[in-house]
Structure 1
């Protein structure tokens, strides 16, 4: 796979359960033959699904991917709250079977509707948010009690895909119980915690809740149907060219050879165009991504440039 070592681009990977996002990056570095690999948006080991990886100079593109809208499919288990708001934690409280059975599908839909829109969400205490320079999850594992401040997020929709009563063991203690498993599809802004949705729904319904399954299915225009597993990915064949990726994110503007040279040198280029705050993608005559730019006062101004290292469209 070393033929990909000098090329830049984006790889779409379907992360398996049990691996950290860093594990996937480490494996991809070996596959791509380069140390310059990064990812846009961490997935917990419990979670599966889409990771967008940048290779070589395309790690710069990740800045423009990480904040895009995301889509998840998840299973919320109502009937118990946990220390981590997911199935990997210890049970804090369990609801009686009769209370769980009294929760109707209609109540679930109403409870989720109340969590959608522009909301203030309190992140899970085991998130990667730093508290006084230390990750929140590390503080929790060290025995500290961590309560994070609520953050503004946008949860565009939460659709219920299935809702059923199940008899199974609770996480941590292994004791059997009655729970309601709610399968959902969530479309949300970057920074939203799906575990927090499970927790908040359980609190609102008075029975507790935690996450048992989480799969990210989309980041912006990139869907899980385009991703490759670590077993099947070819770091050369499956590399998406920077120009093609930028074209999916922003309007693309072609530049002639002289204009392209000026942009690459950081010069401003006169354009007969209206102001556009950008970013816009600048493409050279060979189909390569020059960089991202904006238009101010009829002039193209570079926001970020990308080296021409063979990542053709």
Structure 2
């Protein structure tokens, strides 16, 4: 009797959950699938397409009592965290060690200094520290994925969604430009395959564009570029953790109202668990591939939902200073990595 009652309760709870969030989630899935189709058939970046198509459906998120609003909120928040957690399955300590400590140090230093540069630049341009962290972290680590993960732990204000959309749009466009321009630079500087891979993987924002740029030079360059990019992706968990701790301390020192953010968000815990399991060789290769694909789809679906939540007009209100900042951050990490590999004699 008790088991039957419990199953009925769980079934009714699932039905209520699906009724509340199902429409918005399914719309996000359709938009993501359309973006993937455009990417595969016309070469457009899938993240950019999902974002732009999502913005076109902004009216669905504006309806106060519409059937899609709750599901769009759920997708932009929870599905995003799920996708970031699964990113950990792509990380392997063994692969990273093969690159050598000096090149790893250049990549890690580039991530840290770019974030600090973003904070300093935001201060000099009169932008908030949230915006500096968001743009600096997205440029430094892994583009749109990092922007969404960092945004998830930053305290919200009236500009949060606008700044997130702007950042995702900007890093995706800049990453696409870099995918075309940076391989030309590696030829101009006469870099060998390893140095070209370090430069491309250490400077281009999004993983897909790194892979595209790397393998357009050579197979070895593509492999090195992907490996270097995964080192930057591995920095996502500690960076988000540090931001979460600082935000928590800020909340404790400020007003006592509202719920304090967790010291270690669950999606970061998931990221670290999957990274550890993969580093220990406990996840089969086929499962890693499946988790990577699922992570990519989750992020694509969630960015479509994020696009639906923000109007194009609000994005255009962000101002020229914001554009100058994210371009400056992109140039900073490119120059730093270029200088690093040159000084190391590669």
TM-score (norm 1): 0.24
Larger Rg: 1
Q: Which structure's residues are more often strand, by fraction? A: 1
